[in-house]
Amino acid sequence: MSDQENKFENEKVSIIVENKKNCVVELQVTASKELVEDGYKKAIKEVSKEVEIPGFRKGKAPTDMILKKFQPQVEEQFKRKIADIAFIEAEKLCKLPILSNSSRISFDLKEYSKEDGAKLKFSFEIEPTIPTVDPKDFKLEAITKK
């Protein structure tokens, strides 16, 4: 059961933030069609930089040829790029204090398509929130010796 749930939204992502126990936060992210298309273009570009196709310089092969010969690599990179871009947008929008730069951020890409966008779930630890305490709320009682 979540302690607190907040919603954030901009033109690229829609986010539901659930604060779980032990400083764990879960983000339900719905990414827009534009964000997914951007991720697809970046995935193709990244794969094209890594592969060599005879007759073309590295990174200069036509997109159709890259998609034809390296579809599994493009698909895998596509999933990563969607997650990366969506998380960066979510982080900007929510401004959550992530525990550290080396914190593990797990993600689950539930569904994605270039036509409908994507739905993801991120889970990670944040810095603990320290409650504010007003010293005026405390009352001292005198202790008597028996």
Q: Show the domain range for 132.
A: 4-137
Give CA–CA dist 48/65, Å, rounded. 10
Q: Is residue 145 part of a domain?
A: no
Average pLDDT over residues 3-18: 86
Per-residue pLDDT of 69-102, as tens digits, reads 999 999 999 999 999 999 999 888 888 888 777 7
Q: Is residue 144 part of a domain?
A: no
pTM of model > 0.85: no
Q: Is residue 146 part of a domain?
A: no
Query: CA angle, 110 as apex, 107 and 112 as ends, to 5°?
Result: 110
Q: Is residue 143 part of a domain?
A: no
How high is the pLDDT of residue 61?
86
Signed CA dihedral, 45, 47, 52, 55: sign only: negative
Q: Is residue 91 part of a domain?
A: yes
| CATH number for 113 | 3.30.70.1050
Average pLDDT over residues 103-108: 87
Query: Count of domains in the chain?
Result: 1
- DSSP class of 18: E
